Amino acid sequence: MPIDKLKRVVFPKDWNLKGYLKDRKDAIDRALEKLPQLPTRTTNAASAARKALATNGKRFRPLMVLATADLFERGSDPAIMAAALSVECIHTASLILDDLPCMDDASLRRGEPTLHTMVGEADTILAAMGLVAEAHHLLLNPAFRADKRQMAMSRMLTQAYSLDGLCGGQSDDLADLGSHTLSDLEFIHAKKTGSLFIAAVELACTWCRGRSHETQKLVAYARNLGLAFQIKDDLLDVAPSGTTGKDANQDADKSNFVTVLGEEACSQLYDDLMQTALDQLTGFGQSARHMRELTHAIWQRQS
């Protein structure tokens, strides 16, 4: 599949940063419409995968891939778009599995009925498996030119959703009987939620040949932001479902940051982590303007 080539970013004084995020999200959405690439004929599972990708997602994770690459002035590389789409495929697969009756048993996702309520559990599971395969197929895109970085990026993505990453964190979360401590929650969600945010910056840093100290700063940024993201999810879980696009009190019988800390302390920790994430970008100067705008968009989210 030809990956749309994005225009290289420049930084005029009057540059509209919100326009940057919209342009990038629109480009991601257009590319996602062409997925999955692999089926030679339409199947129920392939249609389910397309339906899952087409929901009104905020695309924060693929945006982070592009924003990190733009920091290095490499956001126009077709390989970077392929990497961004691969992260979104893994994220979408995790969401549709997370919503299943055997896990969170959710009825709403992004303001719409969850996938399994529309197509059934079997095709939802098959769609998730197909999206994982699609993620790796994207990293085989000719845009990577068989570069040795390609294999490293594939390993990074695999690690992110492995049993030592997203899947392991989800398993630990499901095993919760309401007795997790703050340390337990930080450990679990560093894997369940944080791993894909870290992968997003690592993929871009690897392709853009970021220096070691730059990559370390950006990984620290993603680690703090990923944990903050989960804390915000827990805060939103106690909000009415009509305001978030999800079922309310989905985690009422489990340990989460709100039940362990209380809403006020949870909100303060959220702000502290988001500010710590932003602080990691200080040394990048104007080059990180797009990442700062993305960070503020995440900080202000209400769903």
- At 261, the amino acid letter reads L
In a domain, 6, yes or no: no
Contact by Cβ (8 Å): 248, 240: yes
Q: Is residue 269 part of a domain?
A: yes
| Residue 171, domain member (yes or no) | yes
0.85 surpassed by pTM: yes
- Would 29 be classed as within a structural domain? yes
**10 part of a folded domain:** no
Long-range contacts, 146-150 (Cβ 8 Å, 24+): 149/206, 149/207, 149/209
In this predicted structure, what is the pLDDT of residue 110?
82
User: Does any domain span residue 12?
Assistant: no
Has residue 62 been placed in a domain? yes
pLDDT tens-place values along the chain, 303 residues long: 445 444 444 444 444 666 899 999 999 999 999 998 866 678 999 999 999 999 889 999 999 999 999 999 999 899 999 999 999 999 999 999 999 999 999 999 888 999 999 999 999 999 999 999 999 999 998 888 778 899 999 999 999 999 999 999 999 999 988 889 999 999 999 999 999 999 999 999 999 999 999 999 999 999 999 999 999 999 998 877 555 666 666 666 789 999 999 999 999 999 999 999 999 999 999 999 999 999 999 999 998
Closest listed residue to residue 280, CA positions, set 222, 228, 221: 221
**Residue span of the structural domain in which 288 resides:** 17-299
Q: Is residue 11 part of a domain?
A: no
Amino acid at the residue 23: D
pLDDT score of 254: 82
What's the rounded Cα separation, in Å, for the pair 228 and 236?
Answer: 12
pLDDT at residue 246, as a whole number:
67
Q: Return the H-helix or E-strand segment holding 132.
A: helix 121-138
| CATH number reported for the structural domain that contains residue 273 in this entry | 1.10.600.10
Domain total of the chain: 1
